[in-house]
A and B are shown apart, each in its own frame.
Chain A
Amino acid sequence: MSKPAISIEHISKAYRIGLAQQSDSFASTVKSLLKKPLKTLRKFNEDYSSGQDVYWALKDVSFEVERGEVLGLIGRNGAGKSTLLKVLSRIVEPTSGHAIMRGRVSSLLEVGTGFHPELTGRENIYLNGAILGMKRSEIKRKFDQIVEFSEVGKFLDTPVKRYSSGMYVRLAFSVAAHLEPEIMIVDEVLAVGDAAFQQKCLGKMSDVMRQGRTIIFVSHSMDAIASLCSSVVHLRKGCASEKMSVEAGIRSYLDEAAAGDNLPLSQKPRTIQIDNHPPVFHDLKIRGQDGPTVMIPVGTRVGFDVTLRNFADVPGHLTLGIGLNNVRGQRVALFHTEYHKGLTFRGVDELTLHCDVESLPLVPGTYTIDLVLADGYNMLEKVERAGQIEVVFNDILGTGKLPNGKQSVVVLPCTWSN
């Protein structure tokens, strides 16, 4: 039985809140040094983990990653994902607990760390490679591959400050993609470049994974997590879940996301709202084929129940639209009272509208829901991300395969012949 590649045991990380975390002011230190020399000097050595104005970014996090495992780390903003990666990368020190990394570690928290705008592409490849931990001979050997992958060959001797941001990112990622560590720590760096390059990066990542590298991977894209990872840990306010299957992890993440932005629909921020009027959208409920859920198998029934309140004083013939957006922010469906039923309605005190979709033929992925209340052509109230659903795999084509979100937007059955 081999030892796990990464063992994390009871890692916690505290930050002092507010001013104290910034560098101390020179004046105040000098003053206190003069007033109470001994106490101030002792403060320099003090472990600041106790006390009230302390924020625990990580609380007692423990898990292990086996060799060759690709672990997805998911969680909402501020859950501690980046802090954990920084601790494992040795950039910041844990406040307590310890971790053991068995193998050569490379971390990629940002593409192009150490890139200097005045230096040329060629020079930056060498510099960045060295910073990421490559030997000169290693960079030399892979130089052509890196250039080819980055597609910036023509501009190799141009200072990178003249690069477009796309070229910059492509070059930076290419260097990183040619690292050969045994353990790799990757923050959400795949969310860079245009779609075609992203695809290429994902391809490169899966190549890397096939070579048996151990990887910890942070992403907000459930799509990337689902296609790359073999297991998932869900971080919530600094606490880590058990290691879970990818499916269970994504469900847990979406449940959290659904439970909050933690705000009920009536208090969510409005993109558009009626001047001097309380919000009208009150509640949104999502039904699947077997009752309330956010997990909708491809090609099955979904229903939306939208409750509106306190709009008796809103004049005009009103309409309601429910829009679905995919992870790339692309609107993929619109269910609209007027288009689908020729229906308009008048303002009342409370009204619940039910929208039933017989079959939702979207490719698997996360979809956010926008709600729009309109009067003819004027939008009166709009809530973006009023809710979200996760369309999950369902073998509707009978082949065990489906197009993914990079290949298609919808899944349409068809017949082939020759």
Chain B
Amino acid sequence: MSEASMSLSATNSPVSSTIGTPDRDYEETIIRPKQGWIGVDWRELISHRELLLFLVWRDVKVKYKQAIFGAAWAIVVPLVSVLIYTIIGKFAGFANRTVTVNGVPTPYPVYIYAGLLPWLFLQTAINGGGLSLVNNQPLLSKIYLPRLFIPTAMIGSACVDFFMSSIVFTLMILYYVVQTQGTFTPSWQIVFIPGLIALMMIGALGTAYLLSALTVMFRDLRFIIPFITQLGIWLTAVVYPQTIFTVPQKTADGQIVRDIHGNAVLVADYRDWLALNPFAGIVQGFRSAILGEPWQWTQLIGSIVLCSLLFVLGLFYFKRVERRFADIA
């Protein structure tokens, strides 16, 4: 029962010695139909890791090559998005419903950016990851390579954008710290960010595996996926505060009753329903970690469970249909 890998460097000795040396150990690749659910050949992935880096590098390079602004877009896109959603928030009245931390309201652009930072990454995973296989058809039909790398590389290039965007966000936070003369500061909970990033990666990879394989099998998804992300930004409560899913207590004359920290006293709270969305816990988690809002534990646990499921399901579905990619693509 072998899924031999194609190039284990151990046997890669000079070719001239192959003539007339019958007993040399050649690595054996056995080609046979595979049945049922197929495991992941981790050894093969590791031995081909350079290829993954090349594919990431290609995606990054190609993305910004033709644009006049080039890589500046990695910064401009989140900034403009923040600007747009800040304006929408001011007009729609979301802006004054943010959670107040220690009596200090979070500057609304920072609040929006804290949610957009993970969301823009997840959006690339859904859009780009989903189309990654159908857009790289020659890599499926003309050559063999570990196909898991194709959606993985798309996530890899999204990481580069995420990194640049994080730097911009850091600068923005610094600006507001200075501007508010230190009344607004990021929370100590920011130390939990690496864990949230890990969770975000797992969710993104799972989504990319699942959607890329499904898109090969069902081309209709090409048209459906853009709607998923357009709807997703609202369903995941990225660009408005989650407090709109709560009902504040009001006085007889319509004033919101506030506690000593300046936060509304709630008569009903429907936020836990967001736990059904695998990404809501991640987006809210980023806000809690960076801005110091209270953790939404139900959502966070929901994200951990659903993202893990998504990853396992995505991986196994991908492996399951991988053997038919070249026949279909």
Is the A/B pair a real complex? yes
Residues in A lying within 8 Å of B, measured CB to CB: 1-3, 5, 15, 21-27, 29, 45, 47, 67-68, 86-105, 107, 109-110, 113-114, 116, 118-119, 123, 126-127, 130-133, 135-136, 159, 180, 182, 211-213
Q: Is the CB of B217 within 8 A of A93?
A: no
Cα of A92 to Cα of B32 in the assembled complex, Å = 10
Q: Is the CB of A101 within 8 A of B28?
A: yes
With both chains docked as a complex, state the minimum distance between the C-beta of B149 and any C-beta of chain A, in angstroms: 10
With both chains docked as a complex, state the minimum distance between the C-beta of A317 and any C-beta of chain B, in angstroms: 55
Residues of B within 8 A of A212 (CB): 15-16, 18-19
Residues of B within 8 A of A27 (CB): 220
Among B7-35, those with CB < 8 Å from A are 7, 9, 11-12, 15-16, 18-19, 21-23, 26-35
Residue pairs across A and B with Cβ atoms less than 8 A apart, 22 shown, are A23-B216, A23-B328, A26-B219, A87-B31, A89-B143, A90-B29, A95-B33, A98-B30, A98-B32, A100-B30, A101-B30, A103-B18, A103-B26, A105-B6, A118-B66, A119-B61, A119-B62, A131-B143, A136-B54, A182-B26, A212-B19, A213-B15
Cα of A170 to Cα of B140 in the assembled complex, Å = 23
The CB with the most chain A CB atoms within 10 A, among B18, B23, B57, B65, is that of B18
Output the nearest chain B residue to A211 by Cβ-Cβ distance.
B15
Q: Is the CB of B54 within 8 A of A102?
A: no
With both chains docked as a complex, state the minimum distance between the C-beta of A89 and any C-beta of chain B, in angstroms: 5
Instruction: Taking A45-B36, A113-B142, A182-B15 as given, write out 9 further A-B residue pairs in contact, using a Cβ cutoff of 8 Å, ordered by the A residue number.
Output: A87-B31, A89-B143, A90-B31, A91-B140, A93-B33, A97-B32, A116-B62, A118-B65, A123-B58
Output the nearest chain A residue to B14 by Cβ-Cβ distance.
A180
Q: Is the CB of B34 within 8 A of A93?
A: yes
Among B133-172, those with CB < 8 Å from A are 138-145
With both chains docked as a complex, state the minimum distance between the C-beta of A17 and any C-beta of chain B, in angstroms: 12
Our pick among A104, A119, A132 for the contact of B12 (Cβ within 8 Å) is A104
Residues of B within 8 A of A29 (CB): 218
Q: Give per-residue flags for B202-223: 1 if the beta carbon is below 8 A from chain A beta carbons, else 0.
A: 0000000000000011111100
Q: Is the CB of B326 within 8 A of A91?
A: yes
The count of chain B contact residues (Cβ–Cβ below 8 Å) is 52
B323 within 8 A of A: yes
With both chains docked as a complex, state the minimum distance between the C-beta of B87 and any C-beta of chain A, in angstroms: 35
Q: Is the CB of B6 within 8 A of A133?
A: yes
Residues of A within 8 A of B31 (CB): 87-88, 90, 93-94, 98-101
Residues of B within 8 A of A24 (CB): 217-218
Instruction: Assess A1 versus B22: contact at CB under 8 Å? Given A119-B65, A133-B7.
Output: yes
B51 within 8 A of A: yes
With both chains docked as a complex, state the minimum distance between the C-beta of A331 and any C-beta of chain B, in angstroms: 35
Q: Give per-residue flags for B95-133: 1 if the beta carbon is below 8 A from chain A beta carbons, else 0.
A: 000000000000000000000000000000000000000
Q: Is the CB of A126 within 8 A of B30?
A: no
B327 within 8 A of A: yes
Q: Is the CB of A93 within 8 A of B323?
A: yes
Output the nearest chain A residue to B57 by Cβ-Cβ distance.
A127
Among B29-80, those with CB < 8 Å from A are 29-36, 50-51, 54-55, 57-58, 61-62, 65-66
Closest 3 CB pairs of A and B: A2-B22, A26-B220, A98-B32
Cα of A47 to Cα of B19 in the assembled complex, Å = 41
Our pick among B11, B54, B62, B217 for the contact of A23 (Cβ within 8 Å) is B217
Q: Is the CB of B138 within 8 A of A114?
A: yes
Our pick among A86, A94, A159, A213 for the contact of B33 (Cβ within 8 Å) is A94
Q: Is the CB of B11 within 8 A of A123?
A: no
With both chains docked as a complex, state the minimum distance between the C-beta of B318 and any C-beta of chain A, in angstroms: 14
Q: Is the CB of A22 within 8 A of B328?
A: yes
Residues of A within 8 A of B19 (CB): 67-68, 212
Q: Is the CB of A23 within 8 A of B143?
A: no
Output the nearest chain A residue to B31 by Cβ-Cβ distance.
A99
Residues of A within 8 A of B138 (CB): 110, 113-114
Residues of B within 8 A of A123 (CB): 58, 61
